[in-house]
C-alpha cells in the first residue's frame, strides 16, 4: 500500500513533467536506437555471409587440381575420415556425358553425368537420390529442355567407335526427381556411380555385362582420375585439404573465401564490440548522469515526502519508478527507430539480396537483451541516486534549494 502510494506519486510527477520526461526518453532512444541499428547491420551482414557459406555446399567442395589415379582402397580410406561428408569417384570427364531424349520434345540434350549417391550435398536431404543403375535426377535446366517431370522416362544414349564402326546404345532412364536450380546450373544428370562406370566402359570398348553391351573383357582393377569430395563443414575444409596435400593430391577449395569471411567476422566483431562497449559505457553514463541529476533536482520534493512521513525505503522507489518509465519508453522508441532504419536499409538493398535475406536483422532475444541492459543501468543509477538523497538529512534537502 505504501509502495503503491509512492508509485502513484512518481507516476503523477512523471506525467506532470511530461516535457522533461520526453527529453529523457528521447535522449535514451537517441543513443540506444543507433546502437541497435549498428548491431543489426553487423548481425545481418556477417550472419548472412556465414549462413550462405555454411549452407552452400560448393564451399565445402574439395576438387583435385589435376587428374590422378585413385583406386577403391584410396576411396575407402578417405571415406573413413570424420571430416568427410560425401565422396564418390569421377570418371574421365570426356566420357561422362550422355545424350538424353524424351518423347515430348524432338531434340537431343547433351547432359553431363554427375556421379552421385546417398548423402549428395547438391541434392535435397529429403528428396530422392538416384539409386539403381537406371535412375537419374535431372538438373532443372535439362528437365525443362526435355519437358519432363519426376516419374517420366527419358532415353539415354551414348556412342562409340568400336572396331572401326560407329555404335550407339540406348538405355531407358527413370527420372527420379528434378534437382533444385542451385544444385547444377547446366544440363546435367545425377546418376549412380555404376551407370557412369558402365558408360565409360562402353566408350572404351569394353563389355558391360549388366546391360548386355559387347566389347573386350578387362579385369584390371578400376582406377578413377578424380572424385567429388565434400567436407562436413566449411571449418573442416582446410584440414581435409591439408591432409590430401600431404598424401600427394593437390586440391582446390574455397578455403580462401571461407577464411576471408571468418576473418571479416572476427574483425567486424572486434570493431563492433569496441563500438558497442564504448557506446554502452557512454550510454550507461549518460543515462545514469541524467537520472542522477534528475534525482538531485527533485531532492526538495523527495524531502517533502519524507517530511510528511514517507520512509527512506519508500523514497528510493520514487526515482526508481521514474527511471523504469524512462528505460522502457526509451527502449520502445529505440526499437521503433531500429525497425524504421532496418526497413529502409533492407528495402534499399532489396534488389541485391536473395529473397528473405536481410542486411539489417536482429533476433527477439537481442531486443530482450537491450531492454535488460537499459532497465538494469537505469535502476542502478536511480537507486544509487535515490539512496544518496534519502541518506541526507531531510532538513538539508528542504532548505538547500
Partner 1 sequence: MNNVFQSRNKARTTVYHLRDVTRDRASEGVTFRLRVPSLQIAQGEKIALIGESGCGKSTLLDMLAFISQPSDIASFRFRPEQDKDAIDITRLWKKRQMNRLSELRKRHIGYVMQTGGLLPYLSVRENIALSRSVLGLGKDDTVESLAHELGIARHLDKLPETLSVGERQRVAIGRALSHQPSIVIADEPTASVDPFAAEKIMSLFIGLAEERNITVVVASHAWRHIKRLGLRRLAHHTHRSKDGRTTETVVNG
Chain residues in the site for partner 1 (CB under 8 A): 1, 5, 9, 12-13, 15-17, 300-301, 304-313, 393-396, 398-399
- Cα 171 vs. chain centroid, distance in angstroms? 42
Q: How far is the CB of 13 from partner 1 (least distance, A)?
A: 4
Q: Which three cell numbers stand for residue 337?
A: 527507430
- How is 121-139 classified by DSSP, letter by letter? TTS-TTS----STTEEEE-
CA angle 106-108-110, nearest 5°? 160
What is the spatial distance between Cα 168 and Cα 44, in angstroms, rounded to a whole number? 54
- Cα 168 vs. chain centroid, distance in angstroms? 47
Nearest to 158 by CA among 150, 166, 168, 148: 168
Q: How far is the CB of 386 from partner 1 (least distance, A)?
A: 15
Q: How far is the CB of 312 from partner 1 (least distance, A)?
A: 6
Q: Is 359 helix (H, G, I), strand (E, B) or coil?
A: coil
What is the spatial distance between Cα 60 and Cα 55, in angstroms, rounded to a whole number? 9
Q: Is 209 helix (H, G, I), strand (E, B) or coil?
A: helix
Phi, psi of 179 (to 5 degrees): -70, 155
Of residues 137 and 302, the one with the C-beta less far from partner 1: 302
By CB atoms closer than 10 A (0-12, 13-18, 19+), residue 395 is exposed
What is the spatial distance between Cα 14 and Cα 195, in angstroms, rounded to a whole number? 79
Q: Is 107 helix (H, G, I), strand (E, B) or coil?
A: coil
Q: Look up residue 339 and give its DSSP letter.
A: H
| Sign, Cα dihedral of 223, 228, 232, 237 | positive
Cβ contact 68:226 at 8 Å:
yes
Of residues 21 and 116, the one with the C-beta less far from partner 1: 21
Cβ contact 395:304 at 8 Å:
no
Q: How far is the CB of 52 from partner 1 (least distance, A)?
A: 56
What is the spatial distance between Cα 97 and Cα 157, in angstroms, rounded to a whole number? 9
Q: At what angle do helices 312-348 and 364-391 cross, to 10 degrees?
A: 150
Q: How far is the CB of 314 from partner 1 (least distance, A)?
A: 9
Amino acid at each position: 500500500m505504501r509502495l503503491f502510494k509512492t508509485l502513484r506519486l512518481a507516476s503523477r510527477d512523471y506525467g506532470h513533467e511530461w516535457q522533461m520526461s520526453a527529453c529523457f526518453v528521447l535522449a535514451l532512444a537517441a543513443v540506444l536506437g543507433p546502437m541497435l541499428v549498428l548491431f543489426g547491420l553487423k548481425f545481418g551482414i556477417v550472419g548472412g555471409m556465414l549462413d550462405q557459406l555454411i549452407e552452400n555446399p560448393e564451399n565445402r567442395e574439395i576438387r583435385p587440381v589435376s587428374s590422378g589415379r585413385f583406386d577403391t582402397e584410396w576411396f575407402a580410406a578417405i571415406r573413413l575420415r570424420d571430416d568427410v561428408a560425401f565422396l564418390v569417384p569421377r570418371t574421365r570427364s570426356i566420357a561422362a556425358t550422355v545424350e538424353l531424349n524424351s518423347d515430348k520434345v524432338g531434340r537431343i540434350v547433351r547432359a553431363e553425368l554427375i556421379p552421385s549417391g546417398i548423402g549428395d550435398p547438391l541434392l535435397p536431404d529429403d528428396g530422392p537420390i538416384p539409386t539403381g543403375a537406371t535412375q537419374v535426377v535431372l538438373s532443372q535446366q535439362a528437365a525443362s529442355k526435355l519437358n519432363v517431370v519426376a516419374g517420366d522416362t527419358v532415353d539415354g544414349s551414348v556412342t562409340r567407335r568400336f572396331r572401326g564402326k560407329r555404335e550407339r546404345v540406348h538405355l531407358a532412364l527413370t527420372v527420379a526427381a528434378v534437382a533444385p536450380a542451385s544444385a547444377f546450373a547446366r544440363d546435367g544428370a545425377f546418376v549412380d556411380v555404376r551407370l557412369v562406370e558402365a558408360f565409360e566402359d562402353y566408350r572404351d570398348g569394353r563389355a558391360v555385362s549388366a546391360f548386355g553391351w559387347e566389347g573386350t573383357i578387362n579385369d584390371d582393377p578400376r582406377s578413377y582420375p578424380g572424385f567429388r569430395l565434400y567436407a562436413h563443414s566449411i571449418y573442416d575444409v582446410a584440414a581435409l585439404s591439408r591432409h590430401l596435400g600431404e598424401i600427394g593430391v593437390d586440391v582446390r577449395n574455397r578455403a580462401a573465401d571461407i577464411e576471408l569471411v571468418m576473418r571479416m567476422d572476427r574483425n567486424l566483431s572486434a570493431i563492433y564490440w569496441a563500438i558497442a562497449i564504448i557506446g554502452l559505457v557512454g550510454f550507461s553514463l549518460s543515462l545514469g548522469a541524467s537520472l542522477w541529476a534528475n534525482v538531485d533536482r527533485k531532492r526538495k520534493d523527495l524531502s517533502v515526502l519524507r517530511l510528511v512521513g514517507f520512509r527512506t525505503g519508500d523514497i528510493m522507489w520514487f526515482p526508481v519508478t521514474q527511471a523504469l518509465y524512462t528505460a522502457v519508453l526509451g527502449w520502445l522508441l529505440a526499437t521503433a527507430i531500429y525497425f524504421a532504419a532496418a526497413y529502409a536499409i533492407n528495402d534499399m538493398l532489396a534488389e541485391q539480396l536473395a529473397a528473405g535475406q536481410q542486411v539489417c536483422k536482429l533476433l527477439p532475444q537481442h531486443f530482450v537483451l537491450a531492454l535488460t541492459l537499459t532497465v538494469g543501468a537505469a535502476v542502478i543509477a536511480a537507486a544509487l541516486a535515490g539512496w544518496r538523497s534519502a541518506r541526507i538529512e531531510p532538513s538539508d534537502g528542504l532548505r538547500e534549494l
